[in-house]
Amino acid sequence: MSTSVKSRREELRELTRLAVPIAIAQGGQALMGLVDTLVVARAGTSALAAVGLAHNLFFAISSVGLGLMMGFDPLMSQAIGAKNPDRARALLWQGAWAALGVGLVLGSLLLTLPSLLPLVGYEESTLVGTRSYLQWRAPALIPLLIFLMFRAYLQSTASLRPLVVATAVANLFNLGAGILLVFGGGVLPEGWGSLRNIPAMGADGSAVATLLSTLLEVGILGIAVRALGRPGATHSRWPKWADLSQAARVGLPIGLHLAAEVGIFSLAGAMAFRISPESMGAHQIAIAYASLSFTIAMGIGNAGSVRVGWAVGAHNTPQARRSGFTAFVGGACFMGVSGLVFALFPQQMARLAGAPTEVIPLVVPLLMVSAVFQIFDGVQGVGAGVLRGTGATRFTFVANMVAHYGVGLPVSLWLGFGMGMGVVGIWWGLSAGLICVAFSLVWRFHRLSSGVLRPLEA
């Protein structure tokens, strides 16, 4: 049993070395969503509202699958910490089977969900764009889940360069393909030949570009994972119920936690949609910016999860505690800077997003609210990561359910509709829920790491 603990400076250096490429990869995923929003915003308010609702539905459903895949994260990192790389490789194959099964089920659900929205008061005419967008977006779910498995394996082995390369290439491709497919080949200069004949697909083109970009990422990471294979290592490539069920026990609470968190923001978007298309457009732009900064914090949380997992696998609880709290500090500091940017430049950020004139007066106050909760959002994102590294995932789900639906939702309804504050009041309710989650996760990690942290496969 190892009891050596790195100094705070050493731990910060090691965390940064791991967190920067992971955060780039994590932020790159959100950047694709932001680019989609920026491109579609220039196609008009109705297109932006349709895509905003489709994004909410996609992430509300896919979050369960994302969480289930994350159940493999602590198993892989703890296996590497226990110096058992063959076990991590075997888990990668099981994760690929899980991604296929989960993706098929959730993708089918995603395609049928728009048909249920008229039952809760949505006009059929307002759902045409949303339904069409999801028909192109849903097929991206399986490759997205496979991408997460590859990412989990690469970050657990500290092989991070392919993540950065894949993210950069996919984002450049997504930008070019998004503009081309949304507005058509007519945007290209003379001399581009047959590419100028590509028809404009409108908002659907953004979904096609994202699908192709995700496939490109998976291909790049697949090549990198194959290159890391260990000659002579033997492990089953067929589904193993024991491994899948163990990952599900860890991952299901993560999936439910993400569904609860994404669900409350999706519910906020649905409420904004009911208020007006302008409110929905403002919500979509603000959430795109907030998601971009939050994914960087999640990248720090993922790095903290790996560091904690390595320490737990090595039976070194003091080092796990040091790694976890260093990640908390790093996430809070980054999000503090992000909040400052939101507070100082809301007008510029709204105009950069290409917000229509009638939407800008609503975007600016939402960005100011987002500036307030940035630190708390970062702390709770990191907290979910470091607790995942220990394998303790149930508390995060319970904390999110209680805070968001017991505190945040009632406050959103009261301020947004009862007090007549509209979408701004809804966002203040979201802020209240995030603050409660942040404090609860810090307390929980403190309690757990004060004792003895044991590996999941001890």
How confident is the model over 114-138, as pLDDT tens digits?
777 776 666 666 677 778 888 888 8
pLDDT at res. 324: 92
Q: Is the predicted pLDDT of residue 321 greater than 90, yes or no?
A: yes
Evaluate whether 164 touches 224 at the Cβ level (below 8 Å). Answer: no
Q: Is the predicted pLDDT of residue 236 greater than 70, yes or no?
A: no
Determine if the pTM surpasses 0.85: no
Three-state SS for the chain is: CCCCCCCHHHHHHHHHHHHHHHHHHHHHHHHHHHHHHHHHHCCCHHHHHHHHHHHHHHHHHHHHHHHHHHCHHHHHHHHHHCCCHHHHHHHHHHHHHHHHHHHHHHHHHHHHHHHHHHHHCCCHHHHHHHHHHHHHHHHHHHHHHHHHHHHHHHHHCCCCHHHHHHHHHHHHHHHHHHHHHHHCHHHCCCCCHHHHHCCCCCHHHHHHHHHHHHHHHHHHHHHHHHHCCCCCCCCCCCCCHHHHHHHHHHHHHHHHHHHHHHHHHHHHHHHHHHHCHHHHHHHHHHHHHHHHHHHHHHHHHHHHHHHHHHHHHCCCHHHHHHHHHHHHHHHHHHHHHHHHHHHHCHHHHHHHCCCCCCCHHHHHHHHHHHHHHHHHHHHHHHHHHHHHHHCCCHHHHHHHHHHHHHHHHHHHHHHHHHCCCHHHHHHHHHHHHHHHHHHHHHHHHHHHHCCCCCCCCC
Q: What is the pLDDT of residues 33-72, one digit of tens each?
A: 777 777 776 666 677 777 777 877 887 788 888 888 888 8
Q: What is the pLDDT of residues 279-302, one digit of tens each?
A: 878 887 888 788 878 888 888 998
The pLDDT-based confidence of 158 (bands split at 50, 70, 90) is: confident
Q: What amino acid occupies position 171?
A: N
The pLDDT-based confidence of 377 (bands split at 50, 70, 90) is: very high
Q: What is the pLDDT of residues 350-371, one digit of tens each?
A: 888 776 777 788 888 888 988 9
pLDDT at res. 432: 93
pLDDT at res. 422: 84
Q: Is the predicted pLDDT of residue 169 greater than 90, yes or no?
A: yes
Report which listed range, 88-97, 194-203, 435-444, is most confident.
435-444
Question: How many degrees, rounded to 5, is the angle at CA 420 between CA 416 and CA 421?
Answer: 55
pLDDT at res. 433: 93
Evaluate whether 11 touches 326 at the Cβ level (below 8 Å). Answer: yes
Q: Is the predicted pLDDT of residue 427 greater than 70, yes or no?
A: yes
Q: Is the predicted pLDDT of residue 1 greater than 60, yes or no?
A: no
Query: Percent of the chain beyond pLDDT 90?
Result: 28
pLDDT at res. 125: 65
Mean pLDDT in residue range 406-422: 88
Mean pLDDT in residue range 17-26: 84
Mean pLDDT in residue range 12-40: 80
Q: 412: closest CA among 422, 403, 402?
A: 422
pLDDT at res. 127: 73
pLDDT at res. 93: 86
Mean pLDDT for the chain overall: 85
pLDDT at res. 307: 92
pLDDT at res. 122: 66
